[in-house]
């Protein structure tokens, strides 16, 4: 059976930076450690005046096509995952294809294009669609381009304002992939939830605390569904577990929940029992409330054990390094978590070929997907070509007043002229609107 998976990945961060500890916290009158330690975020990326979801997506895709030496004929499908779309009819993928056609010979007229929506999980759903398309034999030897691109902005003053971000991830899905092979081991947790939504409005309506509970509930449901296909999972089965990362503090909670679930009825639970007792079992408690309290106490003990801390440091912590610097990229978030992990392994000189990843994706509204991937032989060569650290370091560092202008500039209800903070070079830029209110783009050489 031919392996199908992610052959290459490229990342494009918004070119502006808001430092949460230095710039945001003082204006909010908050302790900087609420951001750096509590949420686990140091900075957020923002789009410059000439950037939006199309330019960021097209710039990531161009880096990927150049690096892989691709032409439009090599691509049979372009799916864009976003929850920041500006058009209810014309998909962002048509704009991105139009941008790319400005710089490559040939065109994408025979590529199937679409836009996927299910909050942050849409990027992973687009990978699934591409996998299915190739496995069904409908790709005619061509690859799929999946672009996850978002400007994750919240209303000014919303508690979510601390977790904003902007950037794009482009992924090439192919036969015989270099990076990871996707598998059919996959589970879902999905329910009609009202935790985070944008009913025809740009900025989300969010019930922040509830959204965190829903994330964990759906993720647990997805893990159980995954295990019904793949069998019981054990913490040692996976080199890394990249989760959707709205902010690293959320992943801290997901990692602990996953670990507790995976060690239940294993020798790890037995060994830890000497120190913290066995996990509470619901049948031993009179009511749900008493059981939940016992679970909370047990989790507090579990997270302090040396065994858990070591596992977390090896399997989860490396997935968070990019997110800490860029914030939430919604659809791209879980894919930068995977990239962070692989990048950290390459930097540490680890041999990851044939090792497995468990990927936990999530979208509000709400759905989680857990699936397994296997790292491929060419992973290191691929991942070493990312220049994401350089991009992160060269962002323009905004003052608070500049941040306020940038937020207004990207607010669809406002018309704010703003000078660019950075000089565009070898990238697509937004240039204005055409006669039918369509957005226009140019390539700056």
Binding-site ranges for ligand CAA (CB under 6 A): 31, 33-34, 37-39, 120, 159-160, 162-163, 196, 206, 208-209, 211-212, 215, 244, 246-247, 249-250, 328, 330, 362, 364
Helix (H, G, I), strand (E, B) or coil at 293: helix
- Cα–Cα distance measured from residue 324 to residue 326, given in angstroms and rounded to the nearest whole number: 6
**Residue 31 or residue 293: which is nearer to ligand CAA going by CB?**
31
In angstroms, give the least distance from the CB of 159 to ligand CAA: 4
In angstroms, give the least distance from the CB of 203 to ligand CAA: 11
What's the Cα-to-Cα distance from 339 to each of 172, 190, 209, 381, rounded to whole Å? Answer: 14, 26, 28, 13
- Cα–Cα distance measured from residue 212 to residue 253, given in angstroms and rounded to the nearest whole number: 9
- Cα–Cα distance measured from residue 250 to residue 58, given in angstroms and rounded to the nearest whole number: 30
In angstroms, give the least distance from the CB of 178 to ligand CAA: 29
**Active site (annotated) includes residue 10:** no
In angstroms, give the least distance from the CB of 43 to ligand CAA: 15
In angstroms, give the least distance from the CB of 288 to ligand CAA: 22
**Active site (annotated) includes residue 83:** yes
DSSP code of residue 38: I
- Spatial contact of 325 and 392, defined as CB atoms under 8 Å apart: yes
- Spatial contact of 163 and 327, defined as CB atoms under 8 Å apart: yes
**Residue 162 or residue 357: which is nearer to ligand CAA going by CB?**
162
Nearest alpha carbon to residue 187 among 240, 223, 218: 223
Q: What angle do CA 195, 201, 205 make, to 5 degrees?
A: 25
- Cα–Cα distance measured from residue 241 to residue 358, given in angstroms and rounded to the nearest whole number: 5
**What is the residue-wise DSSP string for 164-193?**
-EEEEEEEEEEES-SSEEEEEEEEEEE---
**Active site (annotated) includes residue 110:** no
**Residue 119 or residue 345: which is nearer to ligand CAA going by CB?**
119
In angstroms, give the least distance from the CB of 39 to ligand CAA: 5
Q: Which member of 244, 335, 371, 407 is catalytic?
A: 244
Which residue is nearest to ligand CAA, using beta carbons?
Answer: 38
Q: Which member of 120, 317, 335, 369 is catalytic?
A: 120
Q: Which member of 51, 83, 221, 427 is catalytic?
A: 83
Name residues whose C-beta falls within 8 Å of residue 149's C-beta, 6 or more positions apart in sequence: 53, 54, 56, 57, 60, 80, 81, 82, 84, 92, 167, 168, 169, 331, 332
Active site residues: 83, 120, 244
């Amino acid at each position: 059976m031919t392996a199908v998976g992610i052959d290459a990945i490229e990342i494009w961060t918004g070119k502006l930076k808001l430092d949460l500890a230095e710039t945001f916290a003082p204006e909010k009158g908050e302790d900087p450690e609420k951001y750096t330690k509590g949420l686990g975020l140091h900075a957020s990326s923002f789009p410059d005046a000439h950037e939006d979801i199309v330019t960021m997506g097209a710039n990531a895709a161009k880096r990927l096509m150049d690096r892989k030496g691709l032409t439009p004929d090599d691509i049979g499908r372009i799916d864009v995952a976003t929850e920041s779309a500006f058009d209810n009819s014309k998909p962002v993928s048509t704009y991105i294809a139009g941008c790319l056609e400005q710089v490559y010979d040939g065109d994408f007229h025979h590529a199937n294009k679409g836009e996927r929506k299910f909050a942050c999980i849409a990027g992973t759903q687009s990978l699934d669609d591409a996998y299915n398309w190739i496995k069904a034999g409908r790709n005619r030897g061509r690859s799929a381009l999946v672009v996850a691109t978002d400007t994750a902005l919240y209303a000014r003053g919303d508690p979510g304002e601390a977790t904003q971000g902007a950037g794009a991830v482009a992924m090439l899905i192919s036969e015989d992939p270099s990076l990871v092979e996707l598998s059919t081991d996959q589970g879902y947790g999905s329910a009609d939830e009202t935790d985070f939504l944008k009913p025809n409005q740009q900025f989300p309506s969010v019930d922040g605390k509830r959204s965190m509970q829903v994330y964990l509930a759906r993720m647990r449901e997805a893990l159980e569904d995954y295990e019904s296909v793949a069998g019981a999972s054990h913490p040692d089965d996976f080199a890394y577990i990249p989760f959707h990362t709205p902010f690293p503090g959320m992943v801290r909670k997901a990692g602990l929940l996953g670990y507790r679930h995976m060690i239940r009825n294993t020798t790890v639970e037995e060994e830890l029992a000497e120190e913290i007792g066995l996990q509470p079992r619901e049948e031993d408690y009179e009511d749900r409330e008493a059981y939940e309290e016992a679970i909370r106490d047990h989790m507090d003990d579990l997270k302090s054990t040396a065994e858990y801390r070591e596992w977390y440091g090896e399997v989860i912590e490396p997935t968070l390094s990019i997110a800490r610097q860029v914030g939430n990229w919604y659809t791209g978030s879980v894919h930068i978590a995977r990239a962070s992990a692989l990048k950290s392994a390459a930097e540490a000189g680890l041999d990851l070929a044939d090792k497995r990843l468990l990927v936990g994706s999530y979208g509000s509204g709400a759905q989680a997907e857990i699936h397994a991937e296997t790292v491929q032989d060419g992973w290191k060569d691929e991942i070493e070509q990312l220049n994401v650290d350089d991009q992160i370091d060269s962002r323009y560092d905004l003052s608070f007043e500049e941040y306020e202008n940038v937020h207004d500039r990207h607010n669809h209800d406002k018309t704010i002229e703003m000078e660019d903070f950075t000089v565009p070079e070898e990238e697509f830029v937004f240039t204005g609107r055409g006669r039918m209110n369509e957005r226009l783009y140019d390539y700056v050489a």
